[in-house]
Amino acid sequence: MCGIVGSFNNKINNEILSEINHRGPDQENKYSYKNLELAHVRLSIVDLSNAGSQPMHSENERYTLIFNGEIYNHQDLKQKLSFKNFKGHSDTETILYYIQEFGIESIKDFNGIFAIALLDKKQNKLFLARDPFGVKPLYYSKEGEKLINFASEIKPLFKLGVKKEFNAIYLPTYLKLRYLPAPHTFFKNIYKVKTATIITVDLTSQSIIEEKSFHNIPSINNKLKKEEALEQYEFLLKKAVKSQLMGDVPISMLLSGGVDSALLAKFIVDETNTNLKTYTGGYQINDNTINELEDAEQSAKIIGVENEKVLIEESSFLEVFPKLVKSIEEPLGSTSIFPIHYLAKKINEDGFKVTLTGQGVDEPWGGYLRYKPQNSIENLSKLPLPLLNTIQSKIKKDGVRRAINAIAKTNRAERFNESYSLFDDKMLKSLLRQNNIDTNQTVDLLSKKIETYRLNDRNAVEAMMVLDARMNLSDDLLLYTDKISMQSSLETRVPFLDIELMAFAESLPSHLKTGLFKSKWLHKKLAEKHLPNEIIYRKKRGFYAPTKSWFEGSTGEVLEEKLISDTGLFGKLFRKEEIEKYFKLHRTKKVNYEKQLYLLSSFYFWTKEFF
């Protein structure tokens, strides 16, 4: 795992590379060709010798590659090559010659996580590409239609001369979804490469001449029997686990109290027959409903792995929060950034460069509560709006409010928008100072995604899961996991997002995964073959911070004062009387607004750090 930087007509110096040296503390190298400069910082995991160094040049000198990620099936790809004169055994060298032999579009064959920049001197082109589920980040800056710079993170782009200018256009989308979907960011002229996308740049003009997707969503297979599906799932998951143990360094694992990471740990132990070291994060509080420490310890004993607890205290919250927002570079609504931070730091201190996580199960297998009613909601005869408004006025639970809003919509994109929206249109108009708020932008975005992925051909829950796997995962959960873990020079792998495994999961009809009274059905059926029910059917606690109670006390008071007294960008965007209202209702326990308050706080700290 590494970091990459590229720039047209700019020198990449050590000061620029210092912004991402946490991504690659083992080695750094640069290469110039005409008006383009490429740089790479390396975290050595596969082939620790200089034979794995980058930028890597093909033997015929036509291609130069810089690459961040891991290609787990690179040995299989290697067998297909006519080229045999390898200098080492790195996956970088394999994919360089694979592209040389089969072309840039052959990255569709890569089963792994990656952000790639490939220079083709013969065609006079630069190619940028990102993996199908966006596990690895990749940003670029433009001036007009010219691509100027690109990097694994945003901060190097500022060092390369990109101005910090706030992009307010998509603020309503952020407040609804809790993140900004690619290609958008809150910085003018800075964009994220979309998942499963190849961008082609002409070296002479620096213009983007093509942007093309290379990953297809599988059609639904209604013919597969339950027994066959279970057998296939087990085979593919075991295969994914085995392939992602690839590397020349020891591997650790994040263990929660839930079924996903427990099943993963069991398969790793069965595959390696070694003493796997696992880590669990938890909080020093009395409320065990959100603490996974005891559950994870019990799972570790049952599976037979060593487990270490990492405790997190409320007293460090306000100090660490701004630092994590700086690392992530984008404001996000997930409190899971805190356990990831402390766990990554501890794992790095213990000498590990790689850890595995159970992320990526809920989206394809139907683990979120919002999935359960989707098909039923879509098939409901719509209730009269006046009645819905009356019901909603009496509702105090935030999730129920969203569900009622969704029921009132006949259009799928509008209904999904309401299901996601942390702040609905009415709340936004009261909260934001700007008068002309485009409340339709999120609906428009979702409509385009539904059309692009042809999701009207699927039922509602299948469509929502496909969207979440390509938006919520890549631009929120995987984004902060990568940024925070790499801040501690730790590579995080996600076996459940194996490309073959995901293709299989997304081909299954929804009744094998979720429904009104079930979630992750086939996934849990597999777990029943390998784990006791006390692990599989525990109450789900979630991987997040206890901000509900924190915001009711002194931490909330400090945050409120910061937010309502701000005279900078944050204060110019939001009405302080509305923020005061949310804090008061939350503090008096009339409505749980922890998610809204956390999202606003994340954005506040982001504005203080970058503006």
Q: Tell me: the pLDDT tens digits for 81-114?
A: 999 999 999 999 999 999 999 999 999 999 999 9
Q: Which residue has the tokens 């998610």?
A: 595
Angle at 475 between CA 493 and CA 541, to 5 degrees: 65
Q: Give the C-alpha separation, 526 to 524, whole Å.
A: 5
Residue 446: pLDDT band by 50, 70, 90 thresholds?
very high
Q: Tell me: the pLDDT tens digits for 200-240?
A: 999 999 999 999 999 999 999 999 999 999 999 999 999 99
Asked if pLDDT for residue 287 goes beyond 70, the answer is no
The DSSP symbol for 426 reads: H
DSSP assignments along 107-139, one per residue: GGG--EEEEEEEEETTTTEEEEEE-TT--S--E
Q: Burial level of 314, CB count in 10 A (0-12/13-18/19+)? A: middle
Asked if pLDDT for residue 582 goes beyond 90, the answer is yes
Task: Give the CB-side neighbour count of residue 515, counting CA atoms within 13 A.
Answer: 9
Q: Give the C-alpha separation, 66 to 250, whole Å.
A: 24
Asked if pLDDT for residue 543 goes beyond 80, the answer is no
Asked if pLDDT for residue 290 goes beyond 80, the answer is no
Average pLDDT of the residues in 336-363: 96
Average pLDDT of the residues in 469-489: 97
Q: What are the distances in angstroms from CA 222 to CA 207, 229, 363, 499, 509?
A: 44, 11, 20, 20, 6
Single-letter amino acid, residue 342? Y
Of 17-21, 29-33, 377-381, the poorest mean pLDDT is in 377-381
pLDDT of residue 544: 72
pLDDT of residue 112: 97
Q: Which residue has the tokens 């509080």?
A: 285
Q: Tell me: the pLDDT tens digits for 143-200?
A: 998 999 999 999 999 999 999 999 999 999 999 999 999 999 999 999 999 999 999 9
β-pairing verdict for 354-356 and 251-254: parallel
Q: Which residue has the tokens 């490309």?
A: 499
Asked if pLDDT for residue 385 goes beyond 60, the answer is no
Q: Give the C-alpha separation, 548 to 440, whole Å.
A: 30
pLDDT of residue 400: 78
Residue 557, number of CB atoms within 10 A of its CB: 13
DSSP3 helix / strand / coil % (the chain, rounded to 5): 45, 15, 35
**Radius of gyration in angstroms for the set of CA atoms belonging to the chain, rounded to a whole number:** 24
**Inter-helix orientation angle 594-610/317-328, to 10°:** 60
Single-letter amino acid, residue 68? N
Of 189-193, 412-416, 576-580, the poorest mean pLDDT is in 412-416
CA 427 remoteness from chain centre? 27
Residue 393: pLDDT band by 50, 70, 90 thresholds?
low
Q: What rounded mean pLDDT belongs to the chain?
A: 93
pLDDT of residue 373: 83
pLDDT of residue 304: 94
Asked if pLDDT for residue 71 goes beyond 70, the answer is yes
Kindly tell me the sign of the dihedral angle through the C-alpha atoms of 170, 174, 180, 186. Answer: positive
Indicate the length of the chain as a whole number: 611
DSSP assignments along 157-200, one per residue: HHHTT----B--TTHHHHHHHSS--TT--SBTTEEEPPTTEEEE
